[in-house]
Amino acid sequence: MKDSGTKTAGGGTVGVRELKNRLTHYLKVVGKGNLLVVTDRGKPVAVMSSVETGAGGRTLDERLALLASRGDIALPSKNDSFKTLKPVRTKGTPASRLVSEERR
């Protein structure tokens, strides 16, 4: 690699241009749990981390629990919080037919 401070194994730092050109590679690096500091003209501007291990080294569940304990979010009370809704029956012409007629 160039002497730009770019490291690939184990995370490290990467410049914006290199990140753009090799995004898929760096997403794989981050996906393995490594942190990646993104620099712009040699100055750190961002930290990339996997969703599961976040920049603070906490898992997604730990971060959600922290946000919930601070009152920033409300966690779902059940795993099946989305119920299957039954279609609403209406009288008259179906909307799909009205749209088809309008397009003619």
What confidence tens digit (pLDDT) does each residue in 22-63 have? 999 999 998 888 888 999 998 899 888 887 766 566 777 877
Residue 15 has pLDDT above 90, yes or no: yes
What is the C-alpha to C-alpha distance for residues 10 and 92, in angstroms, rounded to an integer?
A: 63
pTM equals: 0.48
Give the pLDDT confidence score for residue 8 in this predicted structure.
39
What element of type H or E holds 13? strand 12-15
Give the pLDDT confidence score for residue 39 in this predicted structure.
93
Token pair belonging to 27: 């997403």
Contact (Cβ atoms closer than 8 angstroms) between residue 11 and residue 25: no
For the chain, the domain total comes to 1
DSSP helix/strand/coil, 85:
coil
Give the CATH number of the domain where residue 65 resides: 3.40.1620.10
Range of the domain at 62: 12-69
| Structural domain contains residue 104 | no
